[in-house]
């Protein structure tokens, strides 16, 4: 199936949405930006909820909106699953009945295996007889995702599905979203203002500001760009795709390989040869002019400095490359001056903490 292509302009008072996007046939397309940047408005255009939007929308072989051809498929006839911030479950229905509501709206024939797989994937089998008021926020969102999936959509839209959850509930639902990422064979448009969610889930990324697209492309390419605001957030990170080399049971560690070297991380259940995404925050990377031989830090990578940006608060952001893999380090301006860092210099990146995503 072909991917998604869309172009929309829409005026709402002083706000104007003016975007053109292209997305792959499968995978997670993250949409990131501050409040008021147009993220939700874009999703509403895709869903057909903004009838006054001008432009076009094609998903695979289906043309849902085209001004020039006077085509506008109404929302209820679009094969779309939509998950909102608050889940919007029917309070008078059980979890099972909420899920069946989604299944009944599918344009495809009923397939019991789809139901079973959805329930298993989201871990909601034990919740089927409960009502929404007896569920935690994370459980409600998992049911809402299940209801959207049972429509068997061609496009799945999620509008900040974890925005209303506390840290504990976010940690509860994130593994299910990561599993969903691996399973989906359709495009998923995921709106968020959380850098952590983006680096865990997205394959591709759209950065929005004031109704327009600042940048779009592969996640691994967008994250380390110092000319974009994402790199200057508190949670500035890079994502690396690695392969499991082996496990060290004695130390409960797993050794990962990538183009720029090797990393040791807390023991992971992926098989040798399996793929693991590594998340490294800029604040967890320190720099040295020579390789330390007496440090407790296990992960030290030789890299070349590519770019430097001085930030407010006496901080400096350094972008490096280890092999073909980018790295970011946020250090003090004093450390930067003392080390006399400059582009092209060989440096050693000491990584104090690494997060993993399946």
Is the pLDDT at 110 greater than 80? The verdict is: no
Is the pLDDT at 1 greater than 70? The verdict is: no
**Residue 276 · residue 270 · CB < 8 Å:** yes
Q: Which pLDDT belongs to residue 25?
A: 87
Whole-number Å distance between alpha carbons of 129 and 136 = 14
Lowest mean pLDDT among 107-111, 123-127, 266-270, 353-357: 107-111
pLDDT in tens, 249-298: 999 999 999 999 999 999 988 899 999 999 999 999 999 999 988 888 99
Is the pLDDT at 149 greater than 80? The verdict is: yes
Q: Which pLDDT belongs to residue 302?
A: 96
pLDDT in tens, 37-50: 999 999 999 999 99
Average pLDDT for residues 326-337, to the nearest whole number?
97
Top-ranked range on mean pLDDT: pick from 101-115, 263-277, 324-338: 324-338
Percent of the chain with pLDDT over 90: 72
**pTM, two decimal places:** 0.87
Average pLDDT for residues 205-234, to the nearest whole number?
94
Domains by residue range for the chain, with CATH: 4-222 (3.40.50.300), 237-357 (2.40.50.100)
Whole-number Å distance between alpha carbons of 238 and 302 = 16
Is the pLDDT at 194 greater than 90? The verdict is: no
Residue 324 has what DSSP assignment?
Answer: T
Coil vs helix vs strand at 335: helix
């Amino acid at each position: 199936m072909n991917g998604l292509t869309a172009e929309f302009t829409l005026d709402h008072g002083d706000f104007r949405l003016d975007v053109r996007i292209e997305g792959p046939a499968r995978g997670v397309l993250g949409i990131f930006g501050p409040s008021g940047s147009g993220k939700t408005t874009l999703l509403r255009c895709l869903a057909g909820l903004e009838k006054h939007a001008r432009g076009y929308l094609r998903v695979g072989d289906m043309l849902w909106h085209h001004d020039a051809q006077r085509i506008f498929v109404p929302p209820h006839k679009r094969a779309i699953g939509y998950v909102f911030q608050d889940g919007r479950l029917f309070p008078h229905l059980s979890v099972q009945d909420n899920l069946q509501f989604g299944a009944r709206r599918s344009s495809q024939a009923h397939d019991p295996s789809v139901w079973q797989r959805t329930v298993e994937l989201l871990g909601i089998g034990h919740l089927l007889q409960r009502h929404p008021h007896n569920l935690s926020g994370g459980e409600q969102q998992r049911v809402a995702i299940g209801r959207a999936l049972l429509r068997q959509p061609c496009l799945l839209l999620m509008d900040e599905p974890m925005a209303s959850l506390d840290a504990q509930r976010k940690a509860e639902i994130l593994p299910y979203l990561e599993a969903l990422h691996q399973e989906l064979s359709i495009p998923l448009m995921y709106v968020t203002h959380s850098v952590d969610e983006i680096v865990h889930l997205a394959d591709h990324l759209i950065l929005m500001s004031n109704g327009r697209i600042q940048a779009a492309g592969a996640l691994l390419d967008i994250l380390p760009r110092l000319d974009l605001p994402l790199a200057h957030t508190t949670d500035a990170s890079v994502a690396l795709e690695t392969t499991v080399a082996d496990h060290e049971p004695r130390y409960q560690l797993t050794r990962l390989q990538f183009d720029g070297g090797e990393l040791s991380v807390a023991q992971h259940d992926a098989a040798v040869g399996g793929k693991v995404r590594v998340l490294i925050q800029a604040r967890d990377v320190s720099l040295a002019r020579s390789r330390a031989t007496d440090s407790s830090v296990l992960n030290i990578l030789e890299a070349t400095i590519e770019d430097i940006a001085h930030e407010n608060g006496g901080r400096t952001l350094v972008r490096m490359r280890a092999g073909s893999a980018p790295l970011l380090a946020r250090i003090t301006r004093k450390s930067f001056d003392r080390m006399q860092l400059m582009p092209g210099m060989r440096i050693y990146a000491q990584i104090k903490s690494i997060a993993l995503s399946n």
